[in-house]
Amino acid sequence: MPYTIDGLKYPDTLKGVVQDSELTTVMIGSFKGIKPYQNMVRFYRSPPKPSRAYTEYLADDAPGYFQVPDRIRRHITDLMKNGGSDDPKSWQGITELTVSWIEQYFKKEVLPVFYTRRLFEIYHDKKARAFALKKIGDPKKVADKMGITDVDTLQEMLIAQPLGRKAEAAKLSAKLKADGAKAKNGKDAKVGKPPKSDASIRKLKLCGFEKAGEQKLRDAVGEMAEAYMAEDLVAARAAHKKVLNVEPKTSMAGKNSFDGLIKLLKQFKVITA
């Protein structure tokens, strides 16, 4: 199965990796000091002509040498002893065996290590941030809606959320709340209680909720509205998931995104401030 990191999927086979030229470059770079791995990748991507497999890769003094398992080495030894070193069919079989072994070896031994390498982590973080930014839209617009001046911190928090980095998102959310309290009430200010929401059945029906009569839904909507008013987007988005667990996604309210539902809650005064 593919490796899943922060919601992004990466291949668990060498075949899958080499189909992505950028990921292949990162992999080769991450094993820069391990020449046998680089030689194996070259062999796998462009298997040599049967007549050149031995001299280019499999002989002990070959420029692209890498160690193969004993079962393949025995085939090579037997072939050399029997004077069949120039037989293309025999070397073709050894080449195919070697390609198959490299695939298995990378799947079990190399790729699990590769996905922990620093060079891959840098590549992944860049890719993950781009993925998250597409989902959150323009952080400046979100900051304007929320009355937040620290756009950089807000952006980092919004990036952390779709990637499932809960601890990081919570830490950044706490910083935004603390900074907001200081801006309003001075350095030593304490954050006051946020205003209460009005998640009544009547108002939820106006918003288009089909399950407005269910207490579980009213509690989740109220939690979402109050977290939003408290400028805690992490808690608000978590509550939004609770809402969607109750409300059908086909209803007028349920089919809305987080931002769309916030607009509805504001429009019908479920969000009271």
Task: Inform me whether the pLDDT recorded for 188 exceeds 50.
Answer: no
Task: Inform me whether the pLDDT recorded for 248 exceeds 70.
Answer: yes
Q: What is the pLDDT of residue 33?
A: 84
Task: Inform me whether the pLDDT recorded for 97 exceeds 90.
Answer: yes
Q: What is the pLDDT of residue 41?
A: 94
Residue 66: left if φ>0, alpha if ψ -120 to 50, beta else—which one?
beta
pTM of this structure: 0.56
Q: Phi and psi for 47 in degrees, rounded to 5?
A: -55, 135
Q: What is the pLDDT of residue 129?
A: 81
Q: Phi and psi for 10 in degrees, rounded to 5?
A: -130, 145
Q: Confirm if 168 and 6 have CB atoms less than 8 A apart.
A: no
Q: What is the pLDDT of residue 83?
A: 59
Give 64's contacts (C-beta < 8 A, 6+ positions apart).
39, 42, 43, 56, 57
Task: Inform me whether the pLDDT recorded for 252 exceeds 70.
Answer: yes
214 vs 204: CA distance, rounded Å: 10
- List pLDDT tens digits, range 128-171: 888 777 777 677 776 777 677 777 777 777 777 766 777 877 88
Q: Is 2.20.25 the CATH number for 3-119?
A: no
Q: Round the average pLDDT of the chain to a whole number and report it.
A: 85
Domain map of the chain by residue range? 3-119, 137-192, 201-267
- List pLDDT tens digits, range 22-68: 999 999 999 888 999 999 999 999 999 887 888 899 998 999 999 99
Encoded amino acid at 6, one letter: D
172 vs 154: CA distance, rounded Å: 7
